[in-house]
Structure 1
Amino acid sequence: MKVILTILLLFIHSSVRAKDATTLNFIKLFIKNDGKPTHLIYGGLCWKKNVINSLVIEMSKIGVRTSASFKPLSKYQDHAIMYLTDLDCEQSNDVISYASEKELLQFTYRWLILVSSPELKEEKLPLLEDGPVLVDSDLVLAERVGDQFQMVEMHRPGINGTMIITPRGFYNGSLVDTRPNRELYKRRRNMMGHPIVMSNVIQDSNTTRYHLPREDRLQLQYDSITKACWAAANIGFDMLNATGRYIFSYRYGYKVNGQWSGMIADLYNNKADVGTNCVIFRDRFDVVTYTDLVAPMRMLFIYRQPPLAYVANVFYLPFSTRVWVTIAVCTAIATVTLFLASRWELALTKTTTQQQLDGGICDALLLTMSAVTQQGCYIEPRRAPGRMMLFVLFTALMALYAAYSANIVVLLQAPSDSIRSLPQLAGAKITLAANDVDYNHFVFNQSREPLHTAVRDRVFPENGKPRLYSLADGVERIRKGLFALHSVAEPVYRQIEATFLESEKCDISTVDYLVTFDSFTPVRKGSPYLELIRVVHKQIRESGIQSAIRKRYLVSKPHCTTKMSSFSSVGLMDMRPVLILMLYGVAVSVAIVIGEIVLHKL
């Protein structure tokens, strides 16, 4: 009896060792087949200590670290973590419940769940079927039958969806992978018609609720960015075999009294999975993940460059400094020459008349200045040499005067290039205003920097009425000049294309107040559809569909098709340097008169 009992114990021990070795070899080949950096975390195992030690040793041989702690080490290692548990062990229930609670069944974690007892499989499978094993879950259930393993993948298209089980492969001494594609996205892109909800922001007109789902491209002046985003998202839903659902929100989403509002609130409260393109703000990163750019949406100050006469002395600009110095030198030489000629005439004639130069330097200077300004003078030389010099002087200055006048006409109608940055805009003497829409009541409070605060105080003065205008009124004021409107650029560009003359489009400029990145599509943080939406948006962009959607729905910045100048009247602002010079002349004249009177009395 003792011999028989010893033989039975040896047989059972060898069978257990063979069974454990098969399991360990399967786990090792499974990880090597994935070909990814792996950090194995095991839990809920009722294996013997020596078996677990063997697992650690086998993993170290293939460069895989192991751990029994489910506490995350670092978020930067999530892509390498693979969890291991055994449904044959009672502790596996706690492991699966903990994983469901801590969202460890989602992307980017991987799971390998072992089971060998059909009864335990039927008993514990509802734990997985009721858990959040969704389209982004990479969960493999390996059922042992003898010395073989049958592997299947499990996922549901949505919380209320039916569990989908697909073959993964099998192990019979060597591992055979039967996946059609290794990329998880390609294996999960068929959503079986499951609905995906998109939150669409409408701020311009309630007619968007009617036209957006029909994609009829009517009334594109209202919420065109939202319509373009919905068109692109709808194509993505078709690519995923998902059913597109939509809800509407009145704002993009900002914190009001510590609570999210608008579209961001819809994503945060799980009412929607994806949203309309929105600007990236730091506090939104806690709620959403940004995927791809669908429709460009930039909030800018849009304005016409102020006239050149508003920022510079156009009466000085026609000639360079060297030319002005040359004119002054030539005028001085002409004055001296006429003075010498007049002295020579007096020496010959010994007499003078009222209309003749009396040989003084003042008369010579007066005659030269009359020539420079193309004015006549009551005194003039009487002899041929003096008259020839005067003729040459008037002829030369006439050509100079013609060139000067031609340049002045152009410069009076030319725009400047004085405002190119936010500091220049803040210091410019133009009106700063904003489009009277919801987002402008929030974006001006996003920054507390002195420069941004100074601009905000000009749009929202503390002791005055906020400078808020409708789109049509604001664009009309832009056309008249010396006015900058802060708005999403696309609707302003559309209104400019409809109302501006071609010549008025040439000096349109923009300044970014927020200095942010382009707007991107937000997806609810932790959404199982994040990777699917991210990939289909990139495919839509790379195939050219996104570019076609932009051309169908959006208007880009107006281009200047002609440089031809239109007639524009000259106002007092254009003549400011001349008026200032006249005032200086009057002041000097009055001073001279007073001096002459005082001198006469004395």
Structure 2
Amino acid sequence: MNFLTIKALEIMFLIINIKEALSASEKEMQIIIDVVNSYEKPTDVVAIVCWRKYLKFSFVNKLRKLEKPKRVLFITKHEVCENKLPSKNLIFITDTRCPNIKDILFNANSCNKFNNPNRWIILGNMLIKNNEITHDFTNLNIMIDSEVILLQLYAKIFKLYMPYKIGPKNNGWIIESFATWDPIHGLNKSKEIDIATSVRRKDLSREPITMSVVVTENMTKSELPEIRNIHRDTLAKSSFLHYMPIYDFTNATMAIIYAETWGYLLNGTWNGMVGDVAQGKAEFAGTVMFITKERLPVLEYMNSPSSTSVKFVFREPSLSYENNLFLLPFKPVVWYCIVGLVFLLMFILFINARWENVKSCNKNKIDHTILQPNVSDIAIMVISAISQQGSSTELKGQYILKCTARFSTVLPRLTLYLDATGSLGRVVMFILFFTFVFLYTSYSASIVALLQSTSNQIRTLSDLLNSKLELGAEDIVYNRYLFSTATEPVKKAIYQNKIAPRGSKANFMKLEDGVRKLQKEPFAFNMNTGLGYRLVEQYFYEHEKCGLREISYFVNNKPWQTCRKDSPYKEIFKIGSFRSQEHGFNVRINKIVYSKKPICIAKGGKFGSVNMTDFYPALLTLLYGIISALVILLFEILVHRKQFKGKS
């Protein structure tokens, strides 16, 4: 065989290899297109490959021809973690045959690109052999929520696998069969793949999953699984009981670390339980917590299993505590009508008194029992009628009647006229006293009813701030922090003016002390309602359970189960949490640990004695009257002395 023949054979084999390579690349490209097209959600493709330009052009054209065209973005290894990439529903494509594959995978791993909801298709030769991964993916966080597809060629059939690890420290791989592909039948997915990833992989095979629990007393650490001394670290114990069915559902092992506080952002660093979760020491916050804006970047909120919340609770104060009872019996329109009636009657009385004085037959004889036509006598008479005291003066018409007897024989018509005029004054007197008897009766009856009534005017935080109620809060870490850091004007004023006034001790107290004060005094107490109502059931009489009202101080006042923002277990545990709720586990725990707002069954069972608050407006009126009388008396004495000196 000569030299030319050998060269010809070499060229022929090279051409065959190139055709086979091109054929394999086209098949892999078609597999990618079929996988991308199999997802129902809109999907963008991000390719980090070392393909030639004509292959990239062919790939883009094929994706555009699909019924649901896909966007394609070719990037370099340095652009994997940049923010310009779309945030959701991405499929990353890379090839282990590229020279810089380690850098690509390392960069993607450093910015958590293998986490859900991102998906990957990794091309290459012999990535899986005998159900084992041959490529070095050990340091990659391809966790239980990851969807990474590896291609493996067997003869003319491609098999697609999805490997994942249960835990970050677990180097053992679990390999799922995703699909098979051949040029004739195309992509054929496995039946198991149709099940959601978080349900399909819920068995964690006793993998230890760490959660951080807030404990304020050391005794709690040995009492977490038990329902005893429930009044001590109640939130920690109830949260632990809520998590137990979830760990059973996922077949995980519970590992616990303890924190002294829920965790707050101080100098750019999280402390407490939130700090444990944010720093990766724990996957879950083992004690429920509130939703706050600062925690959203580091925590994922899953579910609110507790029926409890944190609110201001107070008993409706008596109506006199917020209002002047002596103005409430009548509506403003009625008061205006009464005032108008008083002036009308005073005018009629003045006309009648004036008429009697003018037409009297014996003007030289003075009778002090007859109403004189002056404002002071008429005003005193009307006030006497209003207060049901009677009057020493009245309209009699007796002198007119005597004149009537004198002129009856001469002028009969004048006699009839004078008789009618004399009777008019007595009719006015009758109407005056009769009207105010009814008004007095109605007024007194209303006052008696109002003395036993409660006020429902406190409905908002502003009402609470402006009320006469004393305010206090449960002495617990989150209350002290959230009250002191409030920025809204009303909430800030509540803390500065009511909870912790300057120069006095902050009004934070134990739960039991606050509930007992709530029972005995006009007092609003910010507390965990589920725990506080247990003590209300224990200490309050039945009639004292009526009229309890609630006002929320915190916008999101229900505590939530939370986990680390990028935790691979969040979807599995979230499903487990909702499953516990649907099966009634949470309801059972809540009924054991917490109490609901007591039902009012004896609203009329209490007799309330009148106190100083109820009638202090009347005392003020009496005091102002006495002062006014003394001032007028002093003025009259001075005037009298001045007149006496003038005469002497």
TM-score (norm 1): 0.88
Deviations 1:68-91 (A, max 9, x none): 334345488233222223334453
Partner of 1:530: 570
Contact 2:164–2:174 (8 Å) recurs in 1: yes
**Match among 358, 377, 383 for residue 369 of structure 1:** 383
Q: Which amino acid aligns with 2:214?
A: V
Contact 1:277–1:297 (8 Å) recurs in 2: no
Partner of 1:191: 204
Partner of 1:29: 34
Q: 1:228 to 1:450 in 2, by over 3 A?
A: same
Partner of 1:295: 306
Identity %: 27
Contact 2:353–2:373 (8 Å) recurs in 1: no
Q: Which amino acid aligns with 1:375?
A: Q
The 2-side partners of 1:13 and 1:381 are apart by: 132
**Match among 576, 580, 593 for residue 553 of structure 1:** 593
**Match among 512, 526, 529 for residue 552 of structure 2:** 512
**SS class of match (2:568):** coil
The 2-side partners of 1:461 and 1:141 are apart by: 66
**SS class of match (1:277):** strand
Q: 1:189 to 1:119 in 2, by over 3 A?
A: closer
- Is the aligned partner of 1:200 residue 2:213? yes
The 1-side partners of 2:371 and 2:234 are apart by: 79
CA offset at residue 67 of structure 1? 1.3
Partner of 1:414: 453
Superposed, which structure 2 residues align to 1:473-492 within 5 Å? 473-492=513-532
CA offset at residue 335 of structure 1? 5.1
The range that moved more, 178-187 or 309-318, is 178-187
Contact 1:292–1:534 (8 Å) recurs in 2: yes
**Match among 126, 132, 139 for residue 141 of structure 2:** 132
**SS class of match (2:463):** helix
Partner of 2:646: none
Partner of 1:165: 175
Partner of 1:468: 508
Superposed, which structure 2 residues align to 1:120-159 within 5 Å? 125=134, 127-159=136-168
- Is the aligned partner of 1:282 residue 2:293? yes
**SS class of match (1:191):** coil
Partner of 1:66: 73
The 1-side partners of 2:173 and 2:34 are apart by: 27
CA offset at residue 572 of structure 1? 2.2
Superposed, which structure 2 residues align to 1:398-413 within 5 Å? 398-413=437-452
**Match among 231, 251, 254 for residue 241 of structure 1:** 251
- Is the aligned partner of 1:442 residue 2:481? yes
Contact 1:289–1:524 (8 Å) recurs in 2: yes
Contact 2:128–2:152 (8 Å) recurs in 1: no
Partner of 2:632: 592
Contact 2:249–2:576 (8 Å) recurs in 1: yes
Partner of 1:213: 225
Partner of 2:276: 266
Q: 1:44 to 1:332 in 2, by over 3 A?
A: closer
Contact 1:291–1:521 (8 Å) recurs in 2: yes
CA offset at residue 479 of structure 1? 2.6
TM-score (norm 2): 0.82
**SS class of match (1:294):** coil
Q: Which amino acid aligns with 1:239?
A: F
Contact 2:491–2:553 (8 Å) recurs in 1: yes
**Match among 449, 457, 462 for residue 423 of structure 1:** 462
Contact 1:156–1:164 (8 Å) recurs in 2: yes
The 2-side partners of 1:565 and 1:392 are apart by: 41
Q: Which amino acid aligns with 1:172?
A: D
Count of aligned positions: 597
Q: 1:160 to 1:6 in 2, by over 3 A?
A: closer
**Match among 108, 113, 130 for residue 99 of structure 1:** 108
Return 5+ residue gaps in structure 1 as ranges: none
Q: 1:171 to 1:369 in 2, by over 3 A?
A: same
Q: Which amino acid aligns with 2:59?
A: L
CA offset at residue 154 of structure 1? 1.0
Q: 1:209 to 1:7 in 2, by over 3 A?
A: closer
Superposed, which structure 2 residues align to 1:10-25 within 5 Å? 10-25=15-30
Q: 1:532 to 1:578 in 2, by over 3 A?
A: same
Q: 1:326 to 1:39 in 2, by over 3 A?
A: closer
**SS class of match (1:103):** coil
The 2-side partners of 1:584 and 1:119 are apart by: 99
Q: Which amino acid aligns with 2:480?
A: H
Contact 2:371–2:395 (8 Å) recurs in 1: no
The 2-side partners of 1:12 and 1:467 are apart by: 84
The 1-side partners of 2:21 and 2:215 are apart by: 66
The 1-side partners of 2:13 and 2:322 are apart by: 104
Partner of 2:419: none
